[in-house]
Amino acid sequence: MKKVSRSKVVYTFSPRHNPAERVKAGEEILLELEDAFGGQVKDEKTAIENLDWTKVNGVTGPVFIEDAEPGDTLAVQIVDVKLANRGVIAVIPKQGVLKDRPFKAKVKVVPISGGYVHFGKAKVKVNPMIGTIGVAPENGEHPTGTLGRHGGNMDVKEITRGATLYLPVFAKGALFAAGDLHAVQADGEACVSAVEVSGEVTLTFNILKGKNVSWPILETKDCYAVLTCGDSLDEACSWAVEEVVKALMQEHKWSFEEAYMFTSLVVDLKINQVVDPKKGVRAVIPKKYVSIESFCHAGFRH
């Protein structure tokens, strides 16, 4: 199996990066991931405000997928996620949902063992997930701390072993990369960090030729989720609902009005994170009501 070392790290999603590795559709690849703090937090005495902030939110890659071209969709299958045995959580003044409250910077190092994160006397079941995952955008450099139609720092807790993530391809070879592993994170990521941890992920890629999605689509066992973002949660919700309504119209040959009604009954609008410059939500719909094909279209439509 091909392997990309954690030393192959970039801090933006960009069509200008040189590939760290090349794979074909169906070929397994393992990426080593550093934690979101770039491994700089050695212990609880580390002053979080003195980190080298040019070395945070790194993603391993990019991986060039043979035959992936602009206008295709890249299907990323998450075969496995393995975690190190210690994680780091931090609160940082002026960050998170309660950024307007006065509080101090604090770092906590937590052991991960037996399938649990040990937070003092409290135990929290591990859910290994990939916080940042995406492809190169069409132009420019997207910092890995943000998110968009190319993916990025989406912080979706279902991006884990067994899931498939569909991403629009904007650049030749897609230039895929991932980072920001979390041992556990709740919807919202309220304090701005989760249990940040290093580890490794095993992936395979497939290509839906000539089919395009407008936003990242996540497939889990029972559901599809449209992953959108906006300057507010409210704006992100409107993008997500619009995309689901279009898919339901295509799937069932319903009018806009019927699809809009049905969305109100079966599509859960969920919060991913509310603490990054762009807020992220997902619109979740059971697979029995829609197929991935109904989210796809020929060429770009946004």
Beta carbon of residue 173, minimum distance to a second copy (angstroms, whole number): 35
Question: Using the rule CB under 8 A, which residue among 163, 178, 195, 201 binds a second copy?
Answer: 195
CA–CA gap between residue 128 and residue 120 (Å, rounded): 20
Q: How buried is residue 301: exposed, middle or buried, by Cβ count under 10 Å (0-12/13-18/19+)?
A: exposed
Three-state SS string over 151-165 comes to EEECCCCCCCCCCEE
53 binds a second copy, rule: CB under 8 A? no
Phi, psi dihedrals of residue 66, rounded to the nearest 5°: -55, 135
DSSP per-residue string spanning 164-225: EEEEE--STT--EEEEEEES---TB-TTS---B--EEEEEEEEEETT-B-SS-EEE-SSEEE
Cα distance between residue 185 and residue 24, in whole Å: 32
Taking the least distance from each CB to a second copy, the nearer of 25 and 109 is 109
* Least gap, CB of 264 to a second copy (angstroms): 4
Binding residues for a second copy, rule CB under 8 A, total 60
Task: Choose one: 5-13, 90-98, 133-141, 218-226; the region binding a second copy (CB under 8 A).
Answer: 90-98
- Please report whether residue 266 would count as binding a second copy according to CB under 8 A: yes
By C-beta, is 72 or 196 nearer to a second copy?
196
Asked if residue 116 binds a second copy (CB under 8 A), the reply is no
Q: For residue 73, how far is the Cα from the chain centroid? A: 16
Please report, as a single letter, which amino acid is at residue 127. Answer: N
Choose, by CB under 8 A, the member of 97, 109, 141, 208 that binds a second copy.
Answer: 97
As measured in angstroms, the least distance from the Cβ of 124 to a second copy is 5
Tell me which of 188, 204, 206, 220 binds a second copy, using CB under 8 A.
Answer: 188
Query: Which residues contribute to the site for a second copy (CB under 8 A)?
Result: 89-91, 96-98, 100-101, 103-104, 106, 108, 117, 119-120, 122, 124, 184-195, 232-234, 237-238, 241-242, 245, 252, 254-258, 260-271, 274, 279, 281, 283, 289
